[in-house]
Structure 1
Amino acid sequence: MKYRKMGKTGDEVSILGFGCMRFPHANGRIDLGRTERQILMAIERGVNYFDTALIYHNGRSESILGDILARGYRDKVRIATKLPPFMVHSEKDMHNILNSQLKKLRTDHVDYYLLHAVNDLGGWERLKKLGIEEFARKAKEDGRIRWFGFSYHGDKDDFKAIIDDYPWDMCQIQYNYIDEHFQAGREGLEHAASKGIGVAIMEPLRGGSLVRKMPPEIRKIWDSSGYSRTPADWAFRWLWDQPGVTTVLSGMNEESQIEENTALADLAEPGMLTEQ
């Protein structure tokens, strides 16, 4: 496994992160035994960044992850979780939600605490009026969170405005070779990186669509390279080739996915792809 620093924090995280939004199911329910085996398999292979959120799996994701990590693995990983703005109407709400998340995660701190889907400047301004900056300061000071960030699905101009308005530690954006100029895109990625802000990538495979049905025009480009690689291999290489990318999140719920993706991460380096 390779690791990169999360921007100016200096914290080293695995370039492959484990997304906790797609745990495996059996008979219509989350398969807890298999979920545990997969999470431990990822940890054994060097993954140390686990991304969850209050609303994932109808509120169960944090508890499931917390129960597994509490069995002697908490100190081996970084936990990233998120504050849902739609549930926030005061600074008190922010503290209450964070405290409830800490209980579910069975930990005294969250390593990366993100505002969930702050998708435009207006959403950020609303949270500022409610006291989000003071909340973050207090939560950092008392040790409940180590680093503060936000996830984003809006346009690049608002993204850059939000980036410039607060001393963020990290952010999370949707980004892949199809979405290079969609939402924050490459321009947003490079803007954040230029300010020393770590960037976590979500939807590297566009929910699996880049594996199941690669666009024909992209297939021609890959085939012309002379290399025989899987669709996932090309997609991850394209991301890890860019030094501004800190970690790439993957919702791995098959053991074969964990095996393939961690093997790819063992070999990744910035600049490993040529212009051709």
Structure 2
Amino acid sequence: MRYRPYGRTGKNISIIAAGCMRLKTPQTERDVQEAAQVLLHAYGKGVNFFDTAPIYCGDRSEEIVGVAIRHMKPGTYYVSTKCDEADAEGFRRGLERSLDRLGLDRIHFFHIWCLMTPAQWEERKKKGAVRAAVRAKEEGLIEHLVFSSHMSGEETAAVIAEGLFDGVTLGFNATNFPFRRKALQAASRAGLGVVTMNPLAGGLIPNHPQQFDFIRGRGDPDVVTAALRFNLSHSAVTSALVGFRRQDDVDGALAALDGFTPKSNEEIVQLEQRLEQKFNGLCTGCGYCLPCPADVSIPKLMDAYNMLILEGQPQAVLDRLHWQWSLDKADAGRCTACGECEEKCTQHLPIIERLNQIKAL
């Protein structure tokens, strides 16, 4: 395993981090133990950063992580969790609940969670969540205050510039890097750690190996490896989150590090240019556009629209709707153009326009 400094914190974390959202949702105590074993397998391979949150895995991910870290030596692992409450009291309750579930006296990295817009950031400040977070850090309940962002690079950079945080977690991959590039640059200048989520674009890259084959370089055995290496070749990136469900997922992700040499800046620029030319605005299926007031299945329809970008064939969109999602293009016709989805979209995609295109196929 390789490690990188997490900004200016003095901590070195594994360049592959354990994303604890995709662990099997437990139905029994045995399921909890089995999920914890996946994390212990990763720990045994050198992974020392475990990212969890409330609501993950049926609201039991923090519990699973808590079970796993009881078997880890103190000082050899770091836990990252989150709270999206806007007011001070709600934030404090969320923090105390996480401490209890994890069995910790102090959380290593605690997030102001899921900033979608600058207005949300202002709301967290106005209603007291940020004040409560700073107070908790002063009390020793939080070691490092960080935030997660789904905003644009420019908007994320503005939050970084306020100087409150030690790190940021953001979506960064071979399909959305132009949208987040300025955030990486700002984090690097400010000395913040950067953990990237969605390095495989929510499954978009491994599900289209032929279309993404061009990102493979010398020594890249497959597009999944190439995508992870693209991510980790950016010097501003401290670690890439990979969601683990089984022990095989751990081994597969770590295999990407075998023989890994970061790409040069020139190679990265050339690859980014090819990506920008080939793809523009792919939906990564994060689902933040939901719920839709008109009950439109937006992520499924946008997934199908990706086929138009990837393959250029309208029939591929209809086939994807039918065979993958059991939907018809008429589903797009329920859109009332209210605009709620576009306000919430982490990629700022023209969803309404795309729904109209699907309806007209």
TM-score normalised to structure 1 length: 0.88
1-side partners of 2:101 and 2:12: how far apart? 25
- Of 125, 129, 149, 1:128 maps to 125
Aligned to 1:251: 243
Give 1:191 shift.
1.4
**Runs of 4+ deviating beyond 6 Å:** 26-30
1:168 aligned to which of 146, 165, 169: 165
SS at match of 2:8: helix
| Structure 1 residue identity aligned to 2:10 | G
| Secondary structure of residue in 1 paired with 2:254 | helix
**1: CA distance, partners of 2:136 / 2:258:** 35
SS in 2 for 1:148: strand
- Determine the C-alpha separation between the residues in 2 that align with 1:25 and 1:136: 29
Structure 1 regions of 5+ residues with no counterpart? none
Counterpart of 1:193, as a letter, is S
Amino acid at match of 2:43: I
Structure 1 residue 121: deviation in Å?
Answer: 1.2
| Pair 1:230-2:230 in alignment | no
Instruction: Find the residue that maps to 1:117 and give its secondary structure.
Output: strand
Deviation by residue 1:249-270 (Cα, 9 ceiling, x = unmatched): 0001132221122233354454
Question: 134-143 vs 248-257, which deviates more?
Answer: 134-143
After the TM superposition, which residues 33-44 of structure 1 pair with which residues of structure 2 at under 5 Å, given as runs?
33-44=33-44
Q: Greater strand percent: which structure?
A: 1
Which residue type is aligned with residue 195 of structure 1?
A: A
Cα deviation code 1:146-189 (max 9, x no counterpart): 0011111122222121111233100011010111113xx12211
1:240–1:269 Cα contact (<8 Å) kept: no
Contact 1:240–1:268 under 8 Å retained in 2: no
CA gap 1:72/1:238 in 2 versus in 1, 3 angstroms: closer
SS at match of 2:115: coil
The higher relative CO (CA closer than 8 Å, separation ≥ 6) is in 1
Alpha-carbon shift at residue 274 of structure 1 (Å): 5.9
What is the total number of aligned residue pairs between the two structures? 268
Task: Check whether the contact 2:20–2:50 (CA below 8 A) recurs between aligned residues.
Answer: yes
Contact (CA 8 Å) 2:38, 2:245: kept in 1 or not?
A: yes
- Which amino acid counterpart does residue 171 of structure 2 have in structure 1? Q
Does the aligned pair in 2 maintain the 1:79–1:112 contact within 8 Å? Answer: yes
1:55-80 Cα offsets, whole Å, 9 max, x none, are 21231111111122123445421000
Match of 1:113 in 2: 110
Write the mapping of 1:1-276 to structure 2, written as runs, cut at 5 A: 1-24=1-24, 31-85=31-85, 88-89=86-87, 91-182=88-179, 185-214=180-209, 216=211, 218-222=212-216, 225-265=217-257, 267-271=259-263, 275=267
CA-CA distance at 1:48 after TM superposition? 0.4
Partner Cα separation in structure 2 for residue 259 and residue 27 of structure 1: 25
SS in 2 for 1:165: coil
Partners of 1:71 and 1:271 lie apart in 2 by: 36
**Identity of matched residues, %:** 29
Q: TM-score, normalised by structure 2?
A: 0.69
Aligned-residue CA RMSD (Å): 2.3
8 Å contact kept, 1:199–1:247? yes
Decide which moves more: 99-108 or 71-80. Answer: 71-80
Cα distance in 1, alignment partners of residues 110 and 234 from structure 2: 24
Structure 1's 144 and 271: CA in aligned 2 closer, same or farther, altered over 3 A?
same
Would the aligned equivalents of 2:149 and 2:170 in 1 still touch at CA under 8 Å? yes
1:8 alignment partner, SS class? coil
1:241 Cα deviation after fit: 0.8
CA contact (8 A) 1:78 1:112 kept: yes
Evaluate the alpha carbon distance shift between residue 220 and residue 263 of structure 1 in structure 2; reply closer, same or farther with a 3 A threshold.
closer
Distance 2:164 2:256 in 1: 33
Alpha-carbon displacement from aligned partner over 1:205-260 (angstroms, at most 9, x marks no partner):
112221121362x31352xx454512221011101111100010000113222112
The Cα shift of 1:42 comes to: 0.4
Q: Is the 8 A contact 2:21 2:61 kept in 1?
A: yes
Q: Secondary structure at the match of 1:265?
A: coil
Following superposition, the deviation at residue 25 of structure 1 comes to 5.6
Change (3 A) 1:4 1:244: same
Q: Secondary structure at the match of 2:257?
A: helix
> How far apart are the structure 2 equivalents of 1:69 and 1:26?
17
Residues 1:273 and 1:191: Cα distance change in structure 2 (over 3 Å): closer
